[in-house]
Amino acid sequence: MKNYREAIIVVQNKIRYSGAVVVAIIYLSFIAAVLKIANPVVQVFVTIGINIALLFVIVNIGALLYGIITRDRRQAD
């Protein structure tokens, strides 16, 4: 049981750091977009970053709906 908990914590920490990377990419891509940097590599990065931001928003809608639908299942989770 202890090993299981430890494994969960390891996965959760990985998610935490990958989440921070995703948020950082979104921030940097918006900054680059606002600054209108003409470099083609930066433009590809901006396109990827803004699409990730949009995906992030869609995931949030999913999380919101999931939270509403399963609001009576706190203990089960």
Partner 1 sequence: MAEIRRFSKSQIAIHVLGAFSILVLYITGLPITFPDQIGWIPALLGGYSITMLIHRIAAVGFIVAGVYLVVYHGLYDIFVGRSYFTDVWIKIKDIKDAINDAKHILRLSVDKPPRYGKYSWIAKAEFWSFFSEAAIFLVTGSILWFSWQSMAFMPPQYLLTARYIHAGFAVVSVCGIAFHSYMVHFNPENFRIDRCIFTGSMPEEEVKEKYPRWYEELQRGDNSGAE
Interface with partner 1 by CB under 8 A: which residues?
9, 12-13, 15-16, 19-20, 23, 26-27, 30, 33-34, 46-47, 50-51, 53-54, 56-61, 63-64, 66-68, 70-72, 74, 77
Residue 24 Cβ, how far from partner 1 at the closest point, in Å?
Answer: 10
Sequence-ordered list of residues with C-beta below 8 angstroms from that of 43, at least 6 positions apart, any chain: 37
Residue 68 Cβ, how far from partner 1 at the closest point, in Å?
Answer: 6
Residue 2 Cβ, how far from partner 1 at the closest point, in Å?
Answer: 17
